[in-house]
Amino acid sequence: MSDLENFRAETRAWLEANCPPEMREPLKDESDACWGGRNPTFKNEAQKIWMDRMAEKGWTVPDWPKPYGGAGLSPAESKILREEMAKLGCRSPLSSFGIWMLGPALLKFGTEEQKVHYLNQIARGEIRWCQGYSEPGSGSDLVSLQTFGEDKGDHWIVNGQKIWTSYADKADWIFCLVRTDKNDKYKGISFLLFDMASEGVSTKPIKLISGNSPFCETFFDNVKVPKHQIVGELNRGWDVAKYLLGHEREMISGAGNAPMGSVGAMHKDLMAEDPLLRGDMAKLDVDTLAFRAMGEKFIDEMKAGKGHPAQPNMMKYFGTELNKRRHELVMAAGGSDALEWESEASKGGAKPRAWLRTKANSIEGGTSEVMLNVVAKRILDLPGA
């Protein structure tokens, strides 16, 4: 057997022996995932065991270097791990903005000390992070942000407001864009990290149309941030922010990766009856396969250093629009019953709430219109986009 075949066999055997059966069930919703944190809550013992075992092996972040909590797997090995986990239906052990967003930015822009400190915490799920980018009036036009950090020698005093900060009320730390020079729009922003328990930080949850409150308004009132908690250079936080956004968009695009036949599985009777609906479901499955193939290709290209920097925008656009289509079909196939909102039979309206949640997919992390602008300008080279 080749080295990779050996690795595949060992990986499969380890997963079979160590992934508890409960962790091989699909997630019901975002709250069913394991988010870690300073005061973590686990849905059950199996969830904790799974996170601990995977963190111990470095497989919460398999391709990060070992000194930073990863397993140092090569791109080919990481792919094998993903494939074997998918075959057994293993859940991701840890959902984390640290893994998906901050970690890659720290790997590129962090100091050695920051990498060792923060990345190990992220890999072990010890600190839950939130993202302080958007402000009232600065969403798509993020670079107009106004939250200001006043230089006080060895620290900044930060004042301002963020909005739509996902899980700000549950997060331990924030990665935050702060203006540190008012004279230069792009080269006047710094990328700061600070503790959400710092004096002067407060949050106010906002309700989504799904009835859930996954995000907040976040206020900073004279928050003291030590100077060593900057990532990258002073006033060059926009470079870090853009790099991180690429990873965020890739992560959100994963919404497009639902199991094949998932809509049909939910509505077996209706499926058989309605040929038009069956046609739409088949088309969705074909598009999902094409999306997956595109994703694998882009990941391979990226790991080989040959990816186009605008690829995550394509993925984000297509994956989120695909997920919206999927949930539209779930609702269409369910008829008026699918609108039921509160009963036990409907699991508290799981389907309509999930459908409404998908409406935000093409807004969060950058809207579909903005993604199309980037694709037009940077990939298709169209004028005036």
Ligand X SMILES: Cc1cc2nc3c(=O)[nH]c(=O)nc-3n(C[C@H](O)[C@H](O)[C@H](O)COP(=O)(O)OP(=O)(O)OC[C@H]3O[C@@H](n4cnc5c(N)ncnc54)[C@H](O)[C@@H]3O)c2cc1C
Q: State the minimum distance, in angstroms, from the CB of residue 97 to ligand X.
A: 8
Nearest approach in angstroms of CB 255 to ligand X is: 11
**Maximum Cα–Cα distance across the chain:** 71
Please enumerate in sequence order all residues whose Cβ is within 8 A of that of 228, keeping only pairs 6 or more positions apart, or say none: none
Indicate the residue type of 359: K
Binds ligand X by CB under 6 A, chosen from 40, 65, 139, 205: 139
* Pairing assessment for the beta strands 148-151 and 129-132 based on DSSP bridges: unpaired
Beta bridge partners of 77: none
Residue ranges in 195-254 that form contacts with ligand X under rule CB under 6 A: 215
Pick between residue 246 and residue 365 the one whose CB is nearest to ligand X.
365
User: Residue 24: CA atoms inside 13 Å, Cβ hemisphere, count?
Assistant: 13
Q: Which residues contact 351 (CB under 8 A, 6 or more apart)?
A: 266, 330, 331, 334, 338
Task: Output 202 or 367, the one with its CB closest to ligand X.
Answer: 367
Task: Give the residue with the Cβ less far from ligand X, 87 or 185.
Answer: 185
DSSP annotation of 301 reads H
Stretch that binds ligand X, among 11-19, 52-60, 158-166, 225-233 (CB under 6 A): 158-166
Instruction: Name which position in 74, 114, 166, 198 contacts ligand X (CB under 6 A).
Output: 166
Cβ at position 121, least distance to ligand X in Å: 19
Cα–Cα distance measured from residue 180 to residue 230, given in angstroms and rounded to the nearest whole number = 11
Q: Report the residue from 11, 121, 147, 165 that binds ligand X according to the rule CB under 6 A.
A: 165
Going by C-alpha positions, the residue among 171, 149, 146 that lies closest to residue 158 is: 149
Q: Residue 296: in which H helix or E strand, if any?
A: helix 275-303
Q: Does the footprint of ligand X cover residue 164 (CB under 6 A)?
A: yes
The yes or no reply on residue 129 touching ligand X (CB under 6 A) is no
CB of 115 to ligand X, least distance (A): 23
Instruction: Give one DSSP letter per residue of 312-341, joined into a string.
Output: HHHHHHHHHHHHHHHHHHHHHHHGGGGG--
Strand 215-226 and strand 129-132: the pairing is: unpaired
Task: Considering only the stretches 29-37, 66-74, 103-111, 360-368, report the one whose residues sit in contact with ligand X under the rule CB under 6 A.
Answer: 360-368
**Smallest separation, CB 280 to ligand X (Å):** 26
Pick 111 or 140: Cβ nearer ligand X? 140
Site string for ligand X, 29-68 (x = CB under 6 A): ----------------------------------------
Which stretches of the chain bind ligand X, using CB under 6 A? 130-134, 139-140, 164-166, 215, 360, 363-367, 369-370, 373
